[in-house]
Amino acid sequence: MKIAVFSAKRYDREFLNAANASAGHQLRYFDEPLDRESVGLAAGYDVVCIFVNDQADAEVLQALAAGGTRLVALRCTGFNNVDLKAAGQLGLKVVRVVSYSPHSVAEHAVALLLAINRKIHRAYNRTRDSNFALDGLMGFDLHGKTVAVVGTGKIGYVFAQIMLGFGCEVIGYDKYPSDAFKALGARYAEHGEIGARADIVSLHCPLTPETHHIINADTLARAKRGALLINTSRGGLIDTEAVIQALKSGQLGGLALDVYEQEADLFFRDLSSTIITDDVFQRLLSFPNVIVTGHQAFFTQEAITTICETTINSVTQFAKGLPLTDEIKAV
Ligand code: NAD
């Protein structure tokens, strides 16, 4: 199969080439993200392979179908950037990587939590400047604290498991509660309990119309004062303006993000010599109690290996006319 790989970075090429060594598909890498401007590059390719910030809206999908593309292969879990209904109507199949190391993302969420609580980002800068003063670096014990896990699927489950190991009380919220989560020794929260009791809230649900801005002025006002918020899921779960207000008033005690609603204009590239025009993002970065990583939670050797192997395997299944294990369709 001829595969056009969009938003291709050096590591994508390395790991996809390795995964493809025995499969023998023809891979063509494009640095550009897939969008309405770049979609012409995909003409003549059977498969388009995309990532989290590529746009596969109805217009792009229409152009892909017209150019001969028959499969859209997401090399990620989330699929909020694909119009599945339009894909179905156009006869385009869509696959994603349903599961790859949930440990990669859960462990990164824990890294962010530890860093924001113990001010590791500030300590790192201070000690490099021979400033060994401790003022402003005080954190709190995680042991005995209440951690809310919003979305108790694969990643939320592993995150909960780790937090239980720290001696935290773990309470969950999920549209579809799971027995596996309860079997860990965690439990599902009573109505209003997350706001009233959680010292830490970590988001692990997908971005859907229902979860868009699940963290907003109202939920923040009902949160425990000084709580920490961790988001390694999707930026759109958080109303960033509301979060800035909550940080300014001290209602929110700290924020650690791996994802940001407008990240498509920023992440996965070196902008260190350019002027960032997103004032909301710049305001976020100005808080001492905010840490941002650039959507790197998935970025471990184990995860990338599985992502690339699964993607190539899906293309091979498609080429052979086999059922697509990781196919997604509009519900
Ligand atoms: P999953 O499908 O295993 O779990 C998601 C959970 O969210 C499920 O239990 C589901 O029932 C629940 N859910 C769905 N709708 C909900 C709602 N309205 N309210 C509350 N819960 C709801 O997915 P996963 O593998 O655990 O991944 C979770 C998310 O993490 C993905 O959707 C993706 O956005 C994000 N992610 C981020 C990175 C990264 O690098 N930062 C990497 C992979 C995944």
Give percent of the chain with pLDDT exceeding 90. 99
Which residue is closest in CA terms to ligand 1's atom 37? 233
Which residue is closest in CA terms to ligand 1's atom 9? 153
Q: How far is the CA of 326 from the centre of ligand 1 (A)?
A: 16
Q: How far is the CA of 72 from the centre of ligand 1 (A)?
A: 20
Which residue is closest in CA terms to ligand 1's atom 20? 174
Q: Give yes or no: 128 in active site.
A: no
Which is the closest atom of ligand 1 to the Cα of 299?
40
Q: How far is the CA of 208 from the centre of ligand 1 (A)?
A: 10
Which is the closest atom of ligand 1 to the Cα of 232?
41
Q: How far is the CA of 134 from the centre of ligand 1 (A)?
A: 37
Pocket test for ligand 1, best of 105, 159, 257 (most atoms within 8 A of CB): 105
Which is the closest atom of ligand 1 to the Cα of 100?
25
- pLDDT tens track for 217-272: 999 999 999 999 999 999 999 999 999 999 999 999 999 999 999 999 999 999 99
Kindly list the protein residues whose Cβ atom lies closer than 6 A to any atom of ligand 1: 77-78, 102, 105, 150-156, 173-176, 204-208, 210-211, 232-234, 258-259, 295, 297-298
Q: How far is the CA of 140 from the centre of ligand 1 (A)?
A: 28
Q: Could you give the CA distance from residue 303 to residue 312 in angstroms, rounded to a whole number? A: 14
φ and ψ at residue 200, rounded to 5 degrees: -140, 135
Residue type (1 letter), 22: S
- 49 sits in which H/E element: strand 47-50
Active site residue: 75, 197, 204, 295, which one?
295
Q: Could you give the CA distance from residue 109 to residue 204 in angstroms, rounded to a whole number? A: 10
What average pLDDT does the structure give for the chain? 97
On whether the 2-100+300-319 domain is CATH 3.40.50.720, my answer is yes
Q: How far is the CA of 128 from the centre of ligand 1 (A)?
A: 37
Q: What is the pLDDT of residue 331?
A: 86
Asked whether 204 and 232 are in contact (CB, 8 A), the reply is: yes
Which residue is closest in CA terms to ligand 1's atom 1? 153
Q: What is the pLDDT of residue 13?
A: 98
If you ran DSSP here, which 8-state letter would residue 186 be given? -
- The answer to pTM > 0.75 is yes
Which is the closest atom of ligand 1 to the Cα of 176?
11
| Sequence-separated (6 or more) residues with CB below 8 Å from residue 111 | none
> Mean pLDDT over residues 196-204, rounded?
97
Q: Could you give the CA distance from residue 260 to residue 292 in angstroms, rounded to a whole number? A: 9
Q: What is the pLDDT of residue 174?
A: 98
Active site residue: 204, 234, 261, 309, which one?
234
pLDDT at 191 > cutoff 90: yes
| Sequence-separated (6 or more) residues with CB below 8 Å from residue 249 | none
- pLDDT tens track for 48-77: 999 999 999 999 999 999 999 999 999 999
Q: Give yes or no: 263 in active site.
A: yes
Q: Pick from 277, 276, 280, 278: which is nearest to 248 by CA? A: 280
Domain edges within the chain:
2-100+300-319, 102-292
On whether the 102-292 domain is CATH 3.40.50.720, my answer is yes
Number of Cβ atoms within 10 Å of the Cβ of 137: 12
Q: Give yes or no: 234 in active site.
A: yes
Q: What is the pLDDT of residue 91?
A: 97
> Mean pLDDT over residues 11-16, rounded?
98
2-100+300-319 and 102-292: identical CATH topology: yes
Q: What is the pLDDT of residue 273?
A: 98
Q: Could you give the CA distance from residue 25 to residue 7 in angstroms, rounded to a whole number? A: 18
